[in-house]
Structure 1
Amino acid sequence: MGTIAVLGILIAFFSIFNYLGFDFFFDDQGHYDSMMLDDMGVVYSNRSDVLAFNEGFSTVADCPWGFVHPGIDYFLRNGSCIIAAAPGRVKSINIIDAGASRENRYRVRVDIQFNMTLLVGYNIESWMNETWQLEAQRGAIIVQPGHWIQKGQVIGTFVRAGDGGHVHFDVIEHASHYCPSKYFGAADLAELLDMVHSFHPDWALCYA
C-alpha cells in the first residue's frame, strides 16, 4: 500500500473518531485521575448566588419546562463566581452570535476537556445584546485555552446583563449530551438536588 493511501486511511480514521468525540492526543499529564468522572460538583460557590432554577436536562418535551434541553441552567446573581465543576484542560473559549433578531444574542462558551472522550461545557448566556456587554463577560473569564483547571477553581465571574441571564452547563461524552447526574459525586449531587427542590420541590433533574 502506498504512502498516500496510508495517509488517506489515517486521516479518515482520525476524522471519524474526532466526529465521535475522541481526542486521541489528550493526556492529563498527571494533574488528576481522568479515567472516570464521578465526583463532579456544582458551578456556584454559595447557594445564595443562585436566583432561580428554570431548566434541567431533558431529551423530551414532556417535562416541567416543556422543551428538549441538553443541559442544566444556573441562574446566577451578577458578580457571582463561576466554579469549575470538574478538572480538565481548557479546550476552547468561543463567542457565539445567535443573530441580531435574538433577545439573547451573544454567549461565551468555555469547553473543558476532562479526558479523551468527555467535555464539560459552560455556555455563559448573560442575556447580552450589545458588544460592550459581550466584552465585559469575555473579560471576566480568567482562564485561557490550554490552562489546567481543578474542580472548585474559579473560571470567571458572571456578568448578568438581563433577567434571563444564566450559565447553561452540559456534559458531552462521545459527542452526545448526557444527563449530568451520573457524573456527580454523592454529596455534590445532593447539594444540587436540594437547590433544585428549594425552587421546585417535585422536579427531577433530568427527564428522558
Structure 2
Amino acid sequence: MFTGIIQGMAEVVSIIEDEAFRTHIVRMDDYLLEGLALGASVAHNGVCLSATAIDGNDVSFDLMRETLRVSNLGTLQVGDRVNIERAARFGDEIGGHAMSGHVSCMATLVEVNKTPNNLRLWFELPDSQGRFLFDKGYIGVDGISLTIGEVVASKHGSIRFCVNLIPETLQRTTLSERRPNDRVNIEIDPQTQAIVETVERVMARKKG
C-alpha cells in the first residue's frame, strides 16, 4: 500500500529494451534506499514496481507489457525523473490517502494556470473514469495524492478536472516539469470507485 506522499525523485540512468518488456534503472538517494531489499515494492509515478537488482544507488525495476500499456513509464527516457514512494509500513502516518499503486488510466494535461505561489493544472481523461471524480474528492496523479478542485465535462465527451498545487508539492515532485499534452498516470480513489460501482449495480437491478 502507498499513501501518495512522494518521498523524492529519482533519475532514470539506463533503460534496457526487450520485446513488450523493459528494465529501467534509477539512481535513488541514500535516504530512499534505507532498508531496501530485492523484491521490495517502490512506486514510480504511482506504479507499484519490484526492485530486481541493487548496485549501490542504482536500482533496477522490470516493466511488463501491461505496465507499459496503461502507464507513462514506457515513454521515459534516460535523464527523466520519476516520483518515488516506498511502500507504507504498519504504523506509518497516512498523510495522503490509501493508494494501491495500480494505475487506472492516463490523463492528458490540457491547461496550466499560474498564480503567485500556486499552480492549477487541468487534466482530461476518458468519460468511463470520469464518473469516479467529484469536487474535493481524492485522486492520484503520477503517484501524488491530490484533492480535486473541480470537475467539468469537455466538449469532446471526456471529463476534465483540476488540481491546485502548493510550492512544496512543486518542489518535491515532477509536476513542476509537466507541460500541456504530457500524459500522467491516474489512480482513482478505490473507496470512491467501490461506492460508485455498488450504487450503479443496485440501481441497475432496480430498473431491471
Structure 1 length normalisation: TM-score? 0.25
Richer in strand (by share): 2
